[in-house]
């Protein structure tokens, strides 16, 4: 390990920022700690307003040339980045597992392949992005997507590289330049992405990566007058601060925030399927914004559903995420673990019953938990826990199910289990959510709009919706052929 390099499972990671095509060190650092065993992986350059300003300046300087780069060339470079990701897939997987504690098998088989797919999808979508010309009184209307300028992308720790590239790929495809600010708890794969992008031929300054604490560097990024777009995934309180910071410049925002999504299980559902969907909500130790953390089960099947759920959840293995047999890894940080346990202990003190779990494990592990006897207006039902903690409530009929499902300030997702197609159509039409799954979960296609309603977010991204956000849409109106100027 050199002064500015740390090594994770034999993979060297530069700990400095990536600004204007060069590595830049800060005078101060912050520790990067693995949630698996609490070990310090290394010291990371701790950015300030100085590095933030330099990164925006680099993005601004490189913007004209990148914006003018033909679509086909931009797409070629994005495919080359995807090639680089696939070439280093195993390295990215082990580094991210060590950094954020998610399952290595998931990173190998799903997450890192999705990272490459993000670049390939938006590269290909760019080449077919068009709107059919239309006429108005003989005049031709032509819609185009013009690059907007430097973008600040602020990403979370629960799926660091996948969620970063979900933003980086369309922003670059659109012809914009980027300043990426990864979460301070999981900075490593963003650094590796900078290396991969440079090796793929992305021009200097088009992608910049600055590391540090949001409280120290965030405002300098989000309030900068040269920033043309801000995309953020994270908590509602942080989103409010970013919105206030961006307001002075009227900088457009895309915000993907928290969730408190329901899983509605009707008596006519396939209970084995419903239980499988329910147990899946422990994925990534419950650190998934889309997770259906509130089980709403029809009274007549609630007892049987609970029995089967307890049996199925009891088969899960919690432990080292690098082990192929592990189903649930650690939670990200001691502070997050304290938050999770606080939610659970307050709920139990208020009368909730822990059917399973309800306590910490060793280290940064929290036992998979299911709480019943919870009130609709209670904290545990209304607030996002972001850990392996689920609640179960019952309902009598369809109307009550919909009322309970919609009775939160969030609206990110919902899942419905029913054997009646007509009921599915009625219920899904009434649910307040950006995504609704019927008899399935976590089926995601980049062609689809993604985002949340209410406090779960602002805007939609995916497919053309991403280009609508990352571009300035222009309509050019041309008079009929043969027109003459009137001077």
pLDDT per position as a tens digit, 309-367: 999 999 999 999 999 999 999 999 999 999 999 999 999 999 999 999 999 999 999 99
**C-alpha span between 109 and 162 (Å, rounded):** 13
More confident residue, 363 or 486: 363
The predicted model gives 379-390 an average pLDDT of 97
- Tokens coding 229: 């777009």
Average pLDDT over residues 209-231: 96
Least confident of 360-364, 380-384, 385-389, 397-401: 360-364
Q: Residue 104: name the closest of 275, 112, 313 by CA.
A: 112
Of the candidates 207, 175, 147, which has an alpha carbon nearest to the alpha carbon of residue 69?
Answer: 175
Token pair for residue 402? 């919909």
Alpha helices, H only, 281-356? 299-313, 334-349
d(CA 189, CA 195): 10
262-438 is a CATH 3.10.129.10 domain:
no
How far apart CA 345 and CA 411 sit, in angstroms, is 26
Altogether, the residues listed in the chain come to a count of 487
Annotated catalytic residue: which of 91, 184, 289, 384? Answer: 289
pLDDT at residue 485 greater than cutoff 90: no
Which sequence spans correspond to the domains of the chain? Answer: 5-257+452-475, 262-438
| Residue percentage of the chain with pLDDT more than 90 | 97
Mean pLDDT value across residues 436-454: 95
Identify whether the C-beta of residue 2 lies closer than 8 Å to the C-beta of residue 12: no
Active site residue 398: no
Specify the CATH number for 5-257+452-475; select among 3.40.605.10, 3.40.980.10, 3.30.9.10, 3.10.105.10.
3.40.605.10
Work out the pLDDT band at 158, boundaries 50, 70, 90.
very high
Count of other CB atoms within 10 angstroms of residue 350: 13
Q: Is the pLDDT of residue 247 over 60?
A: yes
* Burial of 371 (C-beta count, 10 Å sphere; 0-12/13-18/19+): buried
Give the separation between CA 97 and CA 37, rounded to whole angstroms. 12
Q: Give the global pTM.
A: 0.95
Alpha-carbon distance of 300 to 309, in angstroms, equals 15
Among 80-84, 214-218, 390-394, which stretch is predicted with the lowest mean pLDDT?
214-218
Segment 428-457 shows an average pLDDT of 95
Whether 262-438 and 5-257+452-475 are alike in CATH topology: the answer is no
Cα dist. 447→70, 124, 253 in Å? 23, 11, 20
Q: Is 471 a catalytic residue?
A: no
First to last CA, the chain: 72
Q: How confident is the model at residue 481 (pLDDT cuts 50, 70, 90)?
A: confident
Catalytic residue among 51, 96, 256, 384: 256
Predicted local distance difference test score (pLDDT) of residue 487: 44
pLDDT band at 484, cuts 50/70/90? low
Cβ neighbours around 138 below 10 Å, total: 9
């Amino acid at each position: 390990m050199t002064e500015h390099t740390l090594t994770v499972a034999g993979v060297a990671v530069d700990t400095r920022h990536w600004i204007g095509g060069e590595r830049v060190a800060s005078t101060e650092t912050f520790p990067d700690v693995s949630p698996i065993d609490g070990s310090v992986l290394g010291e990371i350059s701790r950015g300030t307003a100085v590095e933030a300003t330099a990164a925006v300046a680099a993005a601004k300087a490189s913007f004209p040339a990148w914006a003018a780069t033909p679509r086909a060339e931009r797409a070629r470079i994005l495919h080359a980045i995807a090639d680089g990701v696939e070439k280093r897939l195993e390295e990215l997987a082990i580094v991210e597992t060590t950094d954020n504690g998610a399952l290595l098998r998931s990173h190998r088989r799903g997450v890192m392949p999705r990272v490459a797919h993000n670049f390939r999808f938006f590269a290909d979508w760019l080449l077919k992005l068009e709107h059919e010309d239309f006429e108005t009184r003989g005049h031709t209307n032509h819609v185009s997507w013009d690059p907007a300028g430097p973008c600040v992308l602020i990403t979370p720790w629960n799926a660091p590289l996948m969620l970063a590239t979900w933003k980086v790929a369309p922003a670059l495809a659109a012809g914009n330049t980027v300043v990426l600010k990864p979460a301070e708890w999981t900075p490593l794969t963003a650094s590796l992405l900078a290396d991969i992008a440079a090796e793929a031929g992305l021009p200097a300054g088009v992608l910049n990566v600055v590391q540090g604490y949001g409280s120290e560097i965030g405002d300098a990024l989000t309030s900068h007058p040269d920033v043309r777009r801000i995309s953020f995934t994270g908590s509602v309180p942080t989103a409010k601060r970013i919105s206030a910071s961006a307001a002075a410049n009227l900088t457009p925002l895309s915000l993907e925030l928290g969730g408190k999504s329901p899983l509605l299980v009707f008596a006519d559902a396939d209970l084995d399927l419903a239980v499988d969907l329910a147990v899946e909500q422990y994925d990534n130790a419950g650190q998934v914004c889309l997770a259906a953390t509130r089980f709403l089960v029809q009274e007549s099947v609630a007892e049987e559903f609970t029995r089967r759920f307890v049996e199925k959840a009891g088969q899960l293995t919690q432990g080292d995420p690098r082990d192929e047999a592990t189903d649930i890894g650690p939670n990200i940080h001691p502070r997050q673990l304290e938050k999770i346990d606080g939610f659970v202990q307050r709920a139990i003190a208020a009368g909730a019953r822990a059917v399973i779990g309800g306590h910490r494990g060793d280290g940064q592990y929290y036992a998979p938990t299911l709480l019943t006897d919870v009130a609709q207006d209670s904290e545990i039902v209304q607030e996002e826990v972001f850990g392996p903690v689920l609640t179960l409530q019952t309902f009598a009929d369809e109307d009550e199910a919909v009322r309970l499902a919609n009775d939160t300030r969030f609206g990110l997702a919902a899942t419905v289990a029913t054997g009646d197609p007509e009921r599915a159509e009625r219920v899904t039409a009434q649910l307040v959510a950006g995504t609704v799954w019927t008899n399935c979960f976590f089926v995601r296609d980049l062609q689809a709009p993604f985002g949340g309603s209410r406090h779960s977010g602002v805007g939609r991204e995916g497919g053309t919706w991403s280009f609508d956000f990352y571009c300035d849409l222009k309509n050019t109106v041309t008079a009929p052929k043969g027109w003459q100027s009137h001077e």
